[in-house]
Amino acid sequence: MESSTTGLTSIVYPWIQKISVSGNINNRNIMPISYMINDYRGADKKGHIYINYENKIPIIISSEPDALNDSRRQNVSNTLKINSFDPVTSIIALSILSSKNNCNTIIPVFDGRRRFDLEYRNIEKNDDMLLCNLNINRIAGYSDKELKKHPKEGEIKLSLLDKHKSLFFPTEVKIPLTIGSFLVKLNANLIME
């Protein structure tokens, strides 16, 4: 999966992320295996985080800048990381959990630096779409700068998959930022590959 800034924002803030995740889905249970993200901000700034999951705990294999020795933040304990998902797998988890035709749930997330809960609540529902409010509840690992600037809420739209009549899949995530919005459009191929 790849995401990037576009339009005027890309001139002021050129940014590309390349993300790869793997895991298993068995009887509506999701077991993440790995999460790899490469981040490019302009020509001179790049970073990455590679995580493998062992006994339901995300383990950082490699990161740049070094997430384990970052003096701007306190490390997140294994107790807080257990049973958490990476950001991409959390979206797929919402799809599985929304099979009850609602998105009222809380999903624990660890992105390699920060631990937060994504709390979803129904806004609107019809036969083939769910619209959910998203609250980002910060738990641990945030720097002072991130506490000031990181978003706290957003919306996520889920659409009914044609092939799976009881499975809603997230198709759009919108998070308001200081300038503009973070908008991601997804397709169901993510879960089918």
What is the tens place of the pLDDT at every residue in 56-77?
999 999 999 888 888 999 899 9
Average pLDDT over residues 93-111: 85
Give the pLDDT confidence score for residue 121 in this predicted structure. 92
Give the pLDDT confidence score for residue 29 in this predicted structure. 85
Question: CA 156 to CA 186: how far, in whole Å?
Answer: 11
Work out the mean pLDDT of the chain and round it to a whole number. Answer: 84
Burial of 76 (0-12, 13-18, 19+ CB in 10 A): buried
Q: Is the dihedral of CA 135, 76, 169, 164 positive or negative?
A: negative
| C-alpha separations of 7 from 10, 30, 60, 171, 186 in Å | 6, 36, 34, 21, 19
Burial of 136 (0-12, 13-18, 19+ CB in 10 A): middle
Q: Is the dihedral of CA 112, 121, 173, 137 positive or negative?
A: negative
Bigger pLDDT: 170 vs 165: 170
Min mean pLDDT across 23-27, 120-124, 158-162 is at: 158-162
- Which of the 8 DSSP states describes residue 98? G
Show the domain range for 78.
Answer: 2-192
Bigger pLDDT: 136 vs 189: 136
Question: CA 20 to CA 97: how far, in whole Å?
Answer: 22
What's the total number of domains in the chain? 1
Whether the per-residue pLDDT at 125 is higher than 90: the answer is no
Question: CA 168 to CA 132: how far, in whole Å?
Answer: 12
